[in-house]
Amino acid sequence: MKFGIGQSVKRVEDRVLLVGQGRYTDDEMPGEGYAVAFLRSPYAHAVLTSLDISAAVTAPGVIMAASHADMAADNVGEIHCQQYVDNSDGTVVPRTTKPAMIADIVRYAGDIAAMVVAETRQQAMDAIELIEADYDSMPAVCDVYAALEDGAPQLYDCYPNNVVFDWASGDLDGARAGIAAAKADGHKIIEVDIVNSRLLASALETRPIVAQPDGESLTLWLPSQGPAPLASQIAEALGMKDDELKVLTGHVGGGFGYKIFLHPEQLCVAWAARKIGSVVRWQQERSEAFLSDVHGRDNRTKAWAAVDKTGKILAMEVSVHANMGAWLSNFGIYIPTLSATRTLTGPYDIQTVGMRVRGIVTNTPAVDAFRGAGRPEANYLLERLMDHIAAELSIDRFELRRRNLIKPEQIPYTMVEGGAVDSGDMPGLLDEIIEKADVAGFAARRAESEAQGKYRGLGLAMYLEQCGQGGGGGVDIEFEANGSVILYAAQQDNGQGHLTTLTQIFSDRLGYDSDLIKVVQGDSLRTPPGTTGGAKMASVLGSSVSEAASLIAVDAQKLAAEHLGVDDADVGLAEGVFTASGTNQSISIEELVRLTATEDGPHPLNRFNNYKASGATYPYGSHIIEIEVDKASFVPQIVRYTTMDDFGNILNPLTLFGQIQGGIAQGVGQALYEYLAYDETGQLLSGSLMDYTLPRADHLPMLDNHTRNTPCQNNLLGVKGAGEAGAIGAPPAVISALCDALGVVHIDMPATLDTIWKVMQAKKAAA
Partner 1 sequence: MYATQYHKAISLDDARSQLAAADDAKLLAGGMTLIPTLKQRLAQTDLLIDLADTGLTLIEDTGSHLKIGAMCRHYDVETSTLVATMIPMLGSLAGGIGDRQVRNYGTLGGSIANNDPSACYPAALMALGANIHTSERDIAAEDFFVGMFETDLDEQEIVTAVSFPKPDKAAYVKFPNPASRYAMVGVCVAVMDGDVRVAITGAGQDGVFRHNDMEAALSEQFSAMAIETVAIDEEMLLSDIHAGADYRAHLVREMTRRAITACQP
Partner 2 sequence: MTQLSMTVNGQPVSHDIEDNMLLVTYLRETLALTGTHIGCDTSQCGACVIHINGVSAKSCTVLAVQAEGKDVTTIEGIASGDRLHPMQQAFHDQHGLQCGYCTPGMVMSAIELVQANPALSEQDIREGLEGNICRCTGYHNIVKAVQTGAQAMRKA
Question: Where do contacts with partner 1 occur on this chain (CB under 8 A)?
Answer: 122, 125-126, 287, 632-634, 673, 677, 685-686, 689-694, 699, 752-754, 757-758, 761
- Taking CB under 8 A as the criterion, the residue among 374, 495, 621, 732 binding partner 2 is 495
Q: Output the smallest distance, CB 517 to partner 1, in A.
A: 40
Contact between 21 and partner 2 per CB under 8 A: yes
Query: Counting contacts by CB under 8 A, is residue 694 touching partner 2?
Result: yes
Using the rule CB under 8 A, which residue among 184, 690, 766, 767 binds partner 2?
A: 690
**Under rule CB under 8 A, residue 293 binds partner 2:** no
Q: Minimum CB separation from partner 1 for residue 693, in Å? A: 4
Closer Cβ to partner 2, 25 or 617, answer by number: 25
DSSP structural state of residue 406: P
The correct pick among 41, 96, 196, 206 for binding partner 2 (CB under 8 A) is: 206
Q: Binds 330, which of partner 1, partner 2, none (CB < 5 to 8 A, cut-off by type)? A: none
Choice between 479 and 678, CB closer to partner 1: 678
Q: Is 91 in the site for partner 2 (CB under 8 A)?
A: no
CB burial string 299-329: b at 16+ within 10 A, e below: bbbebbbbbeeebbbbbbbbbbbbbbbbbbb
Rounded distance between C-alpha atoms, residue 624 and residue 501, angstroms: 29
41, 352, 579, 655: residue in contact with partner 2 (rule CB under 8 A): 655
Q: In what order do the strands lie in the sheet with 62-67?
A: 62-67, 112-118, 34-40, 280-282, 209-214, 217-221, 245-248
Nearby residues of 41 by Cβ (< 8 Å), 6 or more positions away: 48, 102, 106, 108, 109, 110, 111, 112, 113, 133, 135
Which residue, 353 or 665, has its beta carbon nearer to partner 2? Answer: 665
Which residues, numbered 213-272, are part of the site for partner 2 (CB under 8 A)?
A: 251-254, 256
Per-residue x/- track, 698-727, partner 2 (CB under 8 A): x-x-xx----------------------x-
Q: Long-range contacts: 480-483, Cβ < 8 Å, 24+?
A: 480/593, 480/597, 480/603, 481/594, 481/597, 481/603, 482/594, 483/513, 483/516, 483/590, 483/591, 483/593, 483/594
Q: Which does 205 bind (CB under 5 to 8 A by kind): partner 2, partner 1, none?
A: partner 2
- Three-state SS for 665? helix
Indicate whether 650 belongs to the interface with partner 2 (CB under 8 A): no
- Asked if 654 is part of the footprint of partner 2 (rule: CB under 8 A), the reply reads yes
Among 287, 585, 606, 686, binds partner 2 (CB under 8 A): 287
User: Which 8-state DSSP code applies to residue 76?
Assistant: -
The entry of partner 2, partner 1, none near residue 323 (CB within 5 to 8 angstroms by kind) is none
- From partner 2, partner 1, none, which one binds at residue 445 (CB under 5 to 8 Å depending on kind)? none
Q: What is the DSSP string of 416-444?
A: TTS-EE-S--HHHHHHHHHHHTTGGGHHH
| H-state helical runs in 277-396 | 286-292, 375-393
Is 13 a residue that touches partner 2 (CB under 8 A)? yes
Residue pair 260/207 in contact (Cβ under 8 Å)? The answer is: no
d(CA 703, CA 328): 37
Tell whether residue 494 is a contact of partner 2 (CB under 8 A).
yes
Between 487 and 665, whose beta carbon lies closer to partner 1?
A: 665
Binds 655, which of partner 1, partner 2, none (CB < 5 to 8 A, cut-off by type)?
partner 2
**C-alpha to C-alpha distances, 203 to 256, 285, 296, nearest whole angstrom:** 7, 12, 12
761's contact among partner 2, partner 1, none, with CB below 5 to 8 A by partner kind, is partner 1
Residues in the chain: 767
Q: Measuring CA to CA, which residue among 435, 433, 458 is closest to residue 446?
A: 458
Out of partner 1, partner 2, none, what residue 160 binds, judged by CB under 5 to 8 A for its kind, is none
Counting contacts by CB under 8 A, is residue 761 touching partner 2? no
Contact call for residues 231 and 71 (beta carbons, < 8 A): no
Q: Considering the complex, what minimum distance in angstroms separates the CB of residue 147 from partner 1?
A: 21
Residue 125: contacted member of partner 1, partner 2, none (CB under 5 to 8 Å, by partner type): partner 1
In the complex with partner 1, the residue whose CB is nearer, 49 or 120, is: 120
- Binding residues for partner 2, rule CB under 8 A, total 57
Q: Do the Cβ atoms of 67 and 51 come closer than 8 Å?
A: yes
> In this chain, which of 176, 183, 188, 286 binds partner 2, going by CB under 8 A?
286
DSSP notation for 689-751: TTTS----GGG----EEEE-----SSSTT-B---TTHHHHHHHHHHHHHHHHHHT-S--PSS-
442 binds, among partner 1, partner 2, none (CB under 5 to 8 A by kind): none
Q: ∠ CA(405), CA(407), CA(411), 5° rounding? A: 120
Residue 632 interacts with which of partner 1, partner 2, none, CB < 5 to 8 Å by class: partner 1
CA distances from 697 to 495, 496, 669 (A): 19, 20, 12
> Contact, 267 vs 234, CB < 8 A?
yes
Q: Within 10 A of 186 (CB to CB), how many other CB atoms are there?
A: 8
Does 452 participate in binding partner 2 (rule CB under 8 A)?
A: no
Rounded to a whole number of angstroms, the minimum distance from the CB of residue 564 to partner 2 is 39
The contact set with partner 2 (CB under 8 A) reads 10-11, 13-15, 17-24, 26-27, 30-31, 122, 202-206, 251-254, 256, 283, 285-287, 494-497, 654-655, 658, 661-666, 688-690, 694-698, 700, 702-703, 726
